[in-house]
Amino acid sequence: MTHAAPPDFDHPPRPMAQRVGAILWPSFFAAGVATMVFFAFVDPLALRDLTFPQLQISRGLGYTLGFFTFWLATASSSLFTWILLRPASRFNRPLPPR
């Protein structure tokens, strides 16, 4: 039984702009959708009154903070996915020949 030798070709690393864009753009889109859905049911002023009633937060600032919170959460999810999908050949040395 013959075994095919593993390919010696390894994909070169992507440019930094492409890596950052692959994390931030999908998370930006997901944060926009999550913000629309969440604030369709929750008023930012009512949320403020429940959480931080002493702060003077306007409705617009509530929407902004909510969007950036969702963006941070979805960006961290995208970053974690990117970390898990990196090729193992970048971290492991090749197996010795048999």
pLDDT tens for residues 27-42? 999 999 999 999 999 9
Is residue 37 a part of any domain in this protein?
A: yes
Is residue 98 a part of any domain in this protein?
A: no
Structural domain span for residue 54? 23-86
Tell me if 51 sits within 8 A of 66, measured CB to CB: no
Is residue 29 a part of any domain in this protein?
A: yes
Is residue 82 a part of any domain in this protein?
A: yes
Is residue 10 a part of any domain in this protein?
A: no
Is residue 92 a part of any domain in this protein?
A: no
- 18: alpha, beta or left? (left if phi > 0; alpha if psi -120 to 50): alpha
Is residue 16 a part of any domain in this protein?
A: no
The count of structural domains within the chain is: 1
The pLDDT value recorded for residue 96 is 73
Is residue 6 a part of any domain in this protein?
A: no
Say yes or no to pLDDT of 94 above 70.
no
Say yes or no to pLDDT of 17 above 70.
yes
